[in-house]
Structure 1
Amino acid sequence: MENETDLTVKECKTRMRRAAIARRKTVGEAERTEAGKKLMNQVQKLVSHGKHATDAFPSDTNTEANAANGDRCNVSLSVGASVAAYVSMGTEVPTLPLLEWLLSQELRVLVPRLGRGRDIGWSEYSGENGLQEMPRNAAGGLRPKEPYGKVLGAQAIEEATIVFIPAFAIDLDGLRLGRGGGWYDQVLGFCRPDALKIGVCWDWEFIDQYGAVPRESHDIPVDAVVTDKRIIGISKKNLAINGSAN
């Protein structure tokens, strides 16, 4: 049986999620399209191809001093390295420009295959034309488009150097407010220890406070946040990753 604290946390998350959705619905289509391009541009500052990034983020940006003087986090990926991302849906910041750019860098791009409910699976993204519309879930909610190709198991994410994760809110602890299904709570447990976990949200959804997102025991914080306007380092992780070809 759920205790009172659990119910309070869940109720708080539900209220936050509803408020986020209401705010997102005020974004016009033109602004949404532009945000997708800007998101891609931000990731380009972080990910270099065959060399260290020249405009990577400080690993701790909680103050202006840290933003200027924090350790640098450089991510260098070689041809064939794996990156896990997702196909945006509904009111999320569009990720198709990002997915297309990652693919153009000759990276292996994994996106979710949701299957039944909380089943974890992945497929390789081959381009927008390789995506299919999915029926709504049992509760009538939207589901993201999925590739036509082979379904890979949950362990496929173990090969990913970078993992992009959707969020409705992220705070200074790196805790994120997800869609509520618990899918990514399971997924992050399969990530390799040195994988860079990057939360993606609208810029106003990053909360510059500690403890703003209610925490549950299974929550795994992200290492960084990318919005349509900026890159925010959360953890002390200072990576110089060289992803290898499969």
Structure 2
Amino acid sequence: MCPSTPGPVSRASQSDAPAAKRALRTRIANARISDPQRALADAARLARALEACAGHRVLACYASTAPEPDTLALIEALADAGARVLLPVLRSAREPAWAWYQGPDSLRPGWRGIPQPRGPVLPAPALAEATFVWVSALAVTPAGVRLGTGGGWYDRALTHASPRATLGTLVGDDEVVAALPAEPWDIPVDLVVTPTRTLTTTARRPASAPPE
């Protein structure tokens, strides 16, 4: 539980959204850094995340860095179960690219120290292979509106996702809020996993079932 994480936030007008987002990012990041229960939350969230994407054979996921909710254990568990996992290759803040996860020894620090695979780099449309995409977020609403980390990388990357893919995100319990500032290009997520619950959002995108 993050004691300093903000509660419900009034929806900002489009012109106010960037400034509102910056302020929220700072507040939530500081709350995550000071949270003494992060490890316990990660362990509880992992089981729920694996259940949420069970049956999907090709997934995409971000490689987390502290204080984000941990995804490295999730990625390894998916790979151990035989799934193929695409990870972002962050050559810049603006250019989406991907590579296949090939084990923890294949990861190296990339842009801003974010782990990424050493293998061949795939262009942005490679994301269309994934039937489930784990997207980073600092907060999310029951309608699936997410507050990203800034820079718009996922806003651009998700335009290449399959329209049938399920989009999910991992956040803290207090990071599910009533409303968030949003902009026209923000793509909502379908599923939210916290340490204590799994929430199907009211986003317009239909969540997909695992392939047969």
Q: Same fold (TM over 0.5)?
A: yes
Q: 1:174 to 1:238 in 2, by over 3 A?
A: closer
Q: For 2:59, what is the secondary structure of its paired residue? A: strand
Q: Is the 8 A contact 2:139 2:176 kept in 1?
A: yes
Report the Cα distance in structure 2 between the residues aligned to 1:146 and 1:238, rounded to whole angstroms. Answer: 27
Structure 1: distance between partners of 2:207 and 2:190: 10
Q: Share of identical aligned residues, percent?
A: 33
The letter for the 1-side match of 2:41 is A
Matches within 5 A, 1:35-184: 35-48=41-54, 76-77=55-56, 81-134=57-110, 136=112, 143-184=113-154
Matched, 1:214 2:181: yes
Q: Please show how residues 185-224 of structure 1 align to structure 2 within 5 Å.
A: 185-207=155-177, 209=178, 212-224=179-191
Alignment partners' CA distance in 2, 1:102 and 1:230: 20
Query: What letter corresponds to residue 46 of structure 2 in structure 1?
Result: M
Residue correspondences, number: 199
Residue 89 of structure 1, CA deviation: 0.8
Q: Secondary structure at the residue paired with 1:89?
A: coil
Aligned match of 1:241: 210
Q: Which runs of 4+ in 1 moved over 6 A?
A: none
Q: Which runs of 5+ in 1 are unaligned?
A: 49-75, 137-142
Partner of residue 25, structure 2:
17
Gaps of 5+ in 2: 1-12
| Cα RMSD, aligned residues only | 1.9
Deviations 1:121-170 (A, max 9, x none): 0011122221112353xxxxxx4111111111101110000000010110
The secondary structure found in structure 2 opposite 1:163 is strand
What secondary structure sits across from 1:180 in the alignment? coil
CA distance in 2, matches of 1:96, 1:35: 14
Q: Give 1:41 deviation, angstroms.
A: 0.2
Local SS of the residue matching 2:85? strand
SS at match of 2:50: helix
**2:74 aligned partner, one-letter code:** L
SS at structure 2 position matched to 1:146 = strand
TM-score by length of 2: 0.87
Give distance in 2, aligned partners of 1:7 and 1:238.
31
Counterpart amino acid of 2:52? L
Separation of aligned partners in 2, 1:84 and 1:24: 24
The equivalent residue for 2:16 is 8
Aligned CA distance change for structure 1 residues 135 and 219 (closer, same or farther; 3 Å): closer
Cα distance between partner residues in 2 of 1:133 and 1:43 = 25
